[in-house]
Structure formats: structure tokens, C-alpha cells
């Protein structure tokens, strides 16, 4: 029997990790006969199966102001509490409309109950989930305690402990790494299921040489240029300065750095510093975020727009020197597109990914001469590259495929859809609320 699933977040648009992972889950659910619907404040999904609620966008002016009050040097006032309450009530009404309009049987909340970028949305979701009893998967990508800008908790503690995440019997919590599962239990007494990120390794990507060459030409690369791709947002924890340092140390006119994602989620100061550092190093960095589209959206095939997957296919080497990651989508993407990769050994990589035996160039917070020489050797040895990428693909197929994701999601369903469950479309409206 197919169910109606409602995905909810602040944003389902572009190429950020949460949006991409939600699309993967939706594809797996869809292949099992379920129908997926979408609710967010930034949205590029089909409007026939979605509700665009602009006030749910974490960049919405009023939400940004609330965050400045709650995470600044301000005291929570009665007036601020009233503003948050009104905002929450407005969003709760829209979420209920979403549930009723599309006869949603299961909510899948993507990170909106984990990191407090949008406190009114988190509170609204908590109220609706508690009031309706609707089965819910809370898919947590990163928590407030993993982000220094949300610590220490001050007068905002009441809001955050209530909704980030809420401890409700009809919510099944899913985390993407083992440390998050341990910390969620330790800090909040909440049990969770570990489901790492995944990709469709059963179906290797098809390569359009025409599109790959078109992308490379469009950003001014020559046929003999070696493209190093930094496939991350431009934020400080991504460690992009190491990618710049690598290109500087390689010191070859044909080695070019491309950054695929945008800046702005955490301000523009770091992006400006990256540009200044590139200038000091004498490196021409190509920022291509305005050209890159969601790979799960319908292809536009415009001459000046390219899927993120096409950007990966155009690359020769992937740089991923992150200081911290919740999981590491770019690692899977690099493996999927058969690219060698440099990774800074962030904690989740050490704990959850490295033990699987992947063959990657690794660094420990310092770009040593040895690391640079190893990368240069791999970049110039096609046979070695093939040996590395083939091994990595086999391991990823075993551990991070859609079939693995499907099996893990199947373990959750019996808990959510118990013997007394009936689809939302058969539930009396009085039980759902106005």
C-alpha cells in the first residue's frame, strides 16, 4: 500500500546537502510506490505537489531578526516571546493545511527539528506533530551543540529544548553518524536510528562528454587543464583555504580550482577572505555556483546551466578539506563519479567512514609536502587513479547504496505504522484539528 509522505524543511532548493539527501529519500520512497509532497520556505519542487511557505525560509527577515535576539546579547522579553508565538501559530496553520490538502500519512522533517536556524518553524512542527499524532521521521543532519554560533544556550534554552529535537512518541529520530546518535541519547535521552547518507551506486552515472566539455569551455578551461573541484558551500568549516594552499604548492599553470557551491548561509566574511587569499597566492579560482543546478530536478539543458553531476564529471580531482562534517556528501559524490579525493580527517570520517577501507589522500589539519606529492603523483597516473576509484566504488556500493538505504528505512516503518495505523485520508477531520 502506498502512503502519502510530506517532506518539511526550511529549504528544498539548490545543491545543499539537506536538499540533496531529501531528494534521494524521496526517490527511494517513490520507487516503493509512495507519493512525496513538499513544504518549505525556499522551494524548487513541482508546485502541484508542494506548498511554498515563504515564512518558513530561514532567511526570512523576521526569522533573521528573531535569531539576532535569541543568539545575541539580548534578554528574552515578553514582546519577543509573543512575536515567536504568533509566528509559530501562523506556520502551524500552514503545516496543518499541507497535511490536510495532500492527505499526508507520514511527515519527514529534514533538519528543521535539529538545528535552530528557524525556531518558530521547529516549534510549529512540534505542536502539530504532538496535536495530530501523525507518524513522523525526524531526519537530523546536524544539531545545535555542533555549531558554536548556537552556544552557549541562554534565554533561548526553553525554545530549543522543546523543539530541537522534541521527544514525542510518534517521532522516529534518524541521525547520519554514530557520534550524533550517542550525543542525542546523552544530552536528551532520545534514542535514534543511524542511517548514513547514500547514493545510487547500483546504477553508475552516465557521462555526456558533450556537456562535460561544454562546462569546461564555459569556465575557460583548456583540454589539458587539470580541474580540482571544491564541491562545498563557502563557509569556514569547509576549510577551503587548504584547497587554495594545495593549488599554490602544486605550482602548475594547468592546475585550476573550481568551487561549485554558494556563500551566504553563514555570512559572506569567509567568502571574501577566500577571495583575498586566492589573490595573495596568485590563484585564479572559478566560482560557478550561479551555473550549477539541482541534479534531481528536471534538466534544463541550458547552455549556461549545468547539473551538479555534470560539474563532478568535468573534474579531475576532488578537494574536501573540511574541518567538520555531519557525514560528507561530497565523499560519496566523488566516489560515484570515479574521482580521487583529498580529505581532511574530520571526526565523522575517522569514526564512521575511514574504517570501511576507502583509498583516499588524507591530511590531519596540515597540508604536508608528502600529501602534495601524493596528489601530484595520482593526478599524473591514470592507471593508479582507476585502481583507486574502482576500489572505492565497490566499497560504497556495499555500504552506501540505495539498497542499503531502503533496508534501513524498512526497519523504521513497522514502528511508525503500527497495527492501529490508518491512512490520513480515512482519519476523521476532528482528530486532525482545524
Domain total of the chain: 2
pLDDT mean over 279-304: 87
CA distance 211 to 300: 12
Is 245 found in the same domain as 294? yes
Flag whether pLDDT at 429 surpasses 60. Answer: no
In a domain, 63, yes or no: yes
SS3 at position 69: helix
**Which H or E run contains 424?**
none
In a domain, 50, yes or no: yes
pLDDT mean over 346-350: 97
Flag whether pLDDT at 434 surpasses 50. Answer: no
Q: What is the pLDDT of residue 148?
A: 84
* 8 A C-beta contact, residue 14 and residue 7: no
Is 409 found in the same domain as 375? no
In a domain, 433, yes or no: no
pLDDT mean over 276-283: 94
Is 148 found in the same domain as 233? no
Query: Could you give the angle at the alpha carbon of 55 between the alpha carbons of 190 and 66, nearest 5°?
Result: 70
Instruction: For the chain, give the longest Cα–Cα distance.
Output: 69
For the whole prediction, is pTM greater than 0.85? yes
DSSP secondary structure, 70-126, as one string: HTTT----HHHHHHHHHHHHHHHHHHHHHHHHTT-SEEEEESTTTSTT-HHHHHHHH
Flag whether pLDDT at 266 surpasses 90. Answer: no
DSSP secondary structure, 20-46, as one string: HHHHHHHHHHHHTT-EEEEEESEE-S-
Tell me the per-residue pLDDT of 219-255, one tens digit each, with 9 for 90 and over.
Answer: 999 999 999 999 999 999 999 999 999 999 999 999 9
In a domain, 431, yes or no: no
CA distance 115 to 122: 9
Is 177 found in the same domain as 230? no
Is 311 found in the same domain as 268? yes
Interhelix angle 382-399/329-336, nearest 10 degrees: 120
pLDDT mean over 105-123: 97
Is 413 found in the same domain as 298? no
pLDDT mean over 177-200: 97
Alpha helix ranges (H) inside 112-189: 119-132, 157-163, 178-188
In a domain, 324, yes or no: yes
- When pLDDT is cut at 50, 70 and 90, the band that residue 423 belongs to is low
What is the bridge-based pairing of β-strands 306-307 and 317-320?
A: unpaired
Is 217 found in the same domain as 154? no
In a domain, 430, yes or no: no
* Of 137-141, 407-411, 415-419, minimum mean pLDDT range: 415-419
pLDDT mean over 157-169: 93
> How many of the other CB atoms lie within 10 Å of CB of 269?
10
Tell me the per-residue pLDDT of 59-70, one tens digit each, with 9 for 90 and over.
Answer: 999 999 999 888
* Of 135-149, 190-204, 298-312, 388-402, minimum mean pLDDT range: 298-312
Tell me the per-residue pLDDT of 69-82, one tens digit each, with 9 for 90 and over.
Answer: 888 776 778 899 99
Q: What is the pLDDT of residue 419?
A: 56
CATH number of the domain bearing residue 323: 3.40.50.2000
Flag whether pLDDT at 314 surpasses 70. Answer: yes
Provide the domain limits for residue 110: 4-198+401-425
* Of 20-24, 95-99, 306-310, 429-433, minimum mean pLDDT range: 429-433
CA distance 244 to 229: 11
303: buried, middle or exposed (CB in 10 Å: 19+, 13-18, 0-12)?
A: exposed
Q: What is the pLDDT of residue 72?
A: 76
For the chain, give the mean pLDDT. 92
In a domain, 320, yes or no: yes
What is the bridge-based pairing of β-strands 42-43 and 50-52?
A: unpaired
Q: What is the pLDDT of residue 73?
A: 73
Is 413 found in the same domain as 346? no
β partners of residue 193: 174
204 or 154: which carries more pLDDT confidence?
204
152 or 279: which carries more pLDDT confidence?
279
β partners of residue 8: 39, 109
- When pLDDT is cut at 50, 70 and 90, the band that residue 304 belongs to is confident
* 8 A C-beta contact, residue 49 and residue 40: no
Q: Which residue bears the cell 514502528?
A: 415
CA distance 404 to 399: 7
Is 184 found in the same domain as 45? yes
SS3 at position 173: strand
Flag whether pLDDT at 395 surpasses 70. Answer: yes
In a domain, 204, yes or no: no
Is 416 found in the same domain as 316? no
Is 336 found in the same domain as 222? yes
pLDDT mean over 246-271: 91
SS3 at position 386: helix
Tell me the per-residue pLDDT of 96-106, one tens digit each, with 9 for 90 and over.
Answer: 999 999 999 99
Alpha helix ranges (H) inside 227-303: 240-250, 269-281
Is 148 found in the same domain as 265? no
* 8 A C-beta contact, residue 179 and residue 145: no
* 8 A C-beta contact, residue 261 and residue 233: yes
Q: Which of 226, 285, 296, 297 is nearest to 261 (CA)?
A: 285
Amino acid at each position: 500500500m502506498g502512503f502519502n509522505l510530506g517532506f518539511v524543511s526550511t529549504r528544498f532548493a539548490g545543491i545543499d546537502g539537506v536538499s540533496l539527501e531529501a531528494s534521494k529519500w524521496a526517490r527511494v520512497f517513490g520507487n516503493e510506490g509512495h507519493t512525496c509532497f513538499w513544504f518549505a520556505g525556499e522551494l524548487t519542487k513541482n508546485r502541484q505537489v508542494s506548498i511554498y511557505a515563504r515564512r518558513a525560509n530561514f532567511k526570512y527577515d523576521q526569522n533573521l531578526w528573531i535569531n539576532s535576539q535569541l543568539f545575541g546579547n539580548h534578554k528574552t522579553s515578553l514582546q519577543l516571546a509573543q512575536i515567536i508565538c504568533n509566528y509559530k501559530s501562523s506556520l502551524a496553520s500552514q503545516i496543518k493545511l499541507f497535511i490536510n490538502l495532500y492527505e499526508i500519512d507520514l511527515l519527514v522533517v529534514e533538519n528543521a527539528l535539529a538545528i535552530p536556524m528557524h525556531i518558530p518553524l521547529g516549534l510549529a512542527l512540534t505542536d502539530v506533530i504532538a496535536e495530530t499524532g501523525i507518524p513522523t521521521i525526524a531526519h537530523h543532519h546536524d544539531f545545535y551543540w555542533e555549531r558554536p554560533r548556537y552556544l552557549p544556550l541562554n534565554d533561548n534554552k526553553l525554545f530549543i529544548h522543546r523543539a530541537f529535537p522534541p521527544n514525542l512518541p510518534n517521532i522516529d529520530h534518524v541521525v547520519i553518524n554514530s557520534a550524533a546518535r550517542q550525543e542525542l541519547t546523552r544530552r536528551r535521552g532520545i534514542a535514534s536510528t543511524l542511517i548514513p547518507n547514500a547514493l545510487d551506486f547500483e546504477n553508475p552515472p552516465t557521462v555526456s562528454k558533450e556537456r562535460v566539455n561544454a562546462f569546461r569551455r564555459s569556465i575557460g578551461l583548456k583540454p589539458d587543464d587539470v580541474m580540482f573541484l571544491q564541491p562545498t558551500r563557502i563557509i569556514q568549516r569547509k576549510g577551503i583555504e587548504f584547497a587554495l594552499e594545495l593549488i599554490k604548492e602544486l605550482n602548475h599553470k594547468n592546475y585550476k580550482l573550481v568551487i561549485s557551491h554558494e556563500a551566504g548561509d553563514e555570512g559572506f566574511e569567509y567568502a571574501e577572505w577566500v577571495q583575498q587569499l586566492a589573490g595573495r597566492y596568485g590563484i585564479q579560482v572559478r566560482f560557478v555556483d550561479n551555473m550549477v543546478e539541482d541534479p534531481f530536478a528536471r534538466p534544463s539543458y541550458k547552455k549556461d546551466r549545468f547539473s551538479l553531476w555534470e560539474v563532478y564529471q568535468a573534474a579531475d580531482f576532488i578537494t574536501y578539506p573540511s574541518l567538520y562534517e555531519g557525514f560528507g556528501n561530497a565523499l560519496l559524490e566523488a566516489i560515484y563519479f570515479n574521482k580521487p579525493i583529498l580529505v581532511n580527517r574530520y571526526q565523522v570520517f575517522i569514526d564512521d567512514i575511514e574504517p570501511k577501507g576507502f583509498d583516499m589522500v588524507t591530511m590531519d589539519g596540515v597540508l604536508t609536502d608528502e600529501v602534495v606529492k601524493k596528489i601530484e603523483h595520482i593526478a599524473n597516473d591514470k592507471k593508479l587513479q582507476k585502481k583507486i576509484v574502482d576500489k572505492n566504488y565497490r566499497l560504497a556500493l556495499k555500504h552506501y547504496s540505495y539498497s542499503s538505504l531502503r533496508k534501513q528505512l524498512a526497519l523504521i516503518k513497522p514502528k511508525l505504522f503500527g497495527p492501529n495505523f490508518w491512512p490520513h485520508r480515512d482519519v476523521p477531520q476532528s482528530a486532525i484539528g482545524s
